[in-house]
Amino acid sequence: MSVKLLLEKAHVEGIRSYDVYRREGGYRAVEKALKTMSPEAIVEEVKKSGLRGRGGAGFPTGMKWSFIAKPEGVPRHLVCNADESEPGTFKDRYLMEFLPHLLIEGLIISSFALGSNATYIYIRGEYAWIPDILEHAIREAKANGWLGKNILGTGFDLEIYVQRGAGAYICGEETALIESLEGKRGNPRIKPPFPAVKGVWDRPTVVNNVESLAAVVPIINIGAEEYAKIGVGRSTGTKLISACGNINKPGVYEIDMTISVEEFIYSDEYCGGIKNGKRLKACIPGGSSVPILPANLLLKTAKGETRYMNYESLSDGGFATGSMMGSGGFIVLDEDQCVVKNTYTLARFYRHESCGQCSPCREGTGWMEKILKKIDSGKGAMSDIDLLWDIQRKIEGNTICPLGDAAAWPVAAAIRHFRDEFEWHVKNPEECLVRNYGLAGYAEPRPIPA
């Protein structure tokens, strides 16, 4: 039994077009919001719904909206962050590609709530075909009177613009995104001032993830109370999870955050178990930057409780024995995979994507990559493992933006949970060139709870 709010209509044929979307009950939420609700009431509604930002940090969306400064005579802006570049995350792509009108509907309501008359969708450059889909949908919406001047006779004007990025992970960080949107080099700004006070062109700005903005539609449709009933605790509503890796059914799934991680991996409704009947070794539950968890800590928390797919349960135990919900990029590794190689690949990514503005991230990511490459290719020493630990410790928390943390956490978690694999690489310099740890370490599999 699963609740579907966002992807409910995803499989209706032709849902991408306006006519079908409207026939299926689309734009009802806009009508309800603009005609019967005040902007403050919408913000209040979103606050009550308990919706948390779906981009990774999980900050309550309604709270973020209420922080926006409202100086007299200064325009405000809403920016939709569609720069989904986290390795392992592809939920926003699915949403924009198949349900573009859902996003636009969410954008209209959110813009109305925030008082933004010019709203931007900043989309990553690699999604080359999606801007066309979005722009087509915007044209359709405009032709039918949902955008433009005086929408539904309420006197509210709104234009939505699609801005293509040039392919930089860092532009998913909200202040770097704003810089890039302004046509500058995508360097994160130093906060404060926060975007809610000084964002795009120094105007108050809210930057939200695609999924967060789309989730506003069901909140308005079914009401905040109903929405808050779905899910558990402070993880309300539904969450899109993009599952990939060694599983039978990779793809985007909508879950209601009450199911356990075990169910998500093994049930046929979701991932359908590990491919080729292998054993589960580890999992990165929320996109590449969150800590990796070994199977025994993934299915059960350190206290022995079942781990569920929600914000609180996944982060139970802190970084020592837990991880994070993150952006919902669920990467599963089976027993044949090598954590060292995996970590090296991630480190290479972060080194390539660091903006180079602040020294710990610029120099540290490159250094970590070089050491990991050295260990991976059998030239490492035991001291390198401790050195890696020390480097990540010096990067974390000392950078301008969270990219430094995102680069440090995977390395820290890999060493914390899989130190034996790093040591195996050091002790078996020749074997690790032909086989990775996963294939060589068959004899002694990690204990997996029954």
Partner 1 sequence: MAEEKKLFKVTIDNITVEVEPGTTILNAARLVGGEVAPPAMCYYSKLKGSGGKCRTCLVEVAAGSTADPRPMPKLVASCRTTVMDGMIVKNITSERVQDARAGIVEFLLLNHPLDCPICDQAGECHLQELSYEHGKEGTRYEFGKRTFKKHDLGPYIQLHMTRCILCYRCVFVADQLTNKRVHGVLDRGDHAEIATYIEKALDNDFIGNVIDVCPVGALTDKTFRFKNRVWFTKPMDAHRDCPTCCGEVQLWMRGDEVFRVTARKDEWGEIKDASDGKTGWICNECRFEKKDAKDWIIDGPTHVSRHSVISANHYEKVIQPQETLPEVMGGRNPKLLMDIHSISEVNRPDIHLSEIEGPAHSDDFNEP
Helices 39-49, 210-222: axis angle to 10 degrees equals 100
For residues 264 and 257, give the distance between their C-alpha atoms in angstroms, rounded to a whole number: 10
| Residue 285 DSSP code | B
Q: Which is nearer to partner 1, 116 or 288 (CB)?
A: 288
Rounded least distance, CB 210 to partner 1, Å = 24
Rounded least distance, CB 408 to partner 1, Å = 12
- Which sign does the torsion angle of CA 102, 113, 177, 172 carry? negative
Rounded least distance, CB 399 to partner 1, Å = 7
| Residue 304 DSSP code | S
Q: Which is nearer to partner 1, 235 or 392 (CB)?
A: 392
Q: Which is nearer to partner 1, 134 or 168 (CB)?
A: 168
Pairing of strands 293-294, 280-284: antiparallel
In our burial notation (b when 16+ CB lie closer than 10 A, e otherwise), range 175-193 reads bbbbbbbeeeebbbbeeee
Q: Cβ distance 176 to 188 under 8 Å?
A: yes
Please name the residue that has the structure tokens 């790093």: 422
How many other C-beta atoms lie within 10 A of the C-beta of residue 383?
A: 9
Rounded least distance, CB 368 to partner 1, Å = 11
Q: Give the helix/strand (H/E) hosting 120.
A: strand 116-123
Q: Give the helix/strand (H/E) hosting 242.
A: strand 239-245
Q: Which is nearer to partner 1, 35 or 352 (CB)?
A: 352
Pairing of strands 293-294, 235-236: unpaired
Q: Which is nearer to partner 1, 52 or 351 (CB)?
A: 351
Strand partners, 156: 151
Rounded least distance, CB 34 to partner 1, Å = 39
Gyration radius (Cα) of the chain, Å: 22
Q: Cβ distance 421 to 281 under 8 Å?
A: no
Q: Which is nearer to partner 1, 187 or 337 (CB)?
A: 187
Rounded least distance, CB 375 to partner 1, Å = 13
Strand partners, 285: 287
Rounded least distance, CB 350 to partner 1, Å = 9
- The SS3 call for residue 97 is helix
**Where does this chain bind partner 1 (CB under 8 A)?**
168, 170, 185, 190, 351-360, 362-367, 370, 387, 393-394, 397-400
Q: Which is nearer to partner 1, 269 or 390 (CB)?
A: 390
What are the strands, taking DSSP E only, across 293-404?
A: 293-294, 329-334
Q: Which is nearer to partner 1, 4 or 362 (CB)?
A: 362
Rounded least distance, CB 42 to partner 1, Å = 30
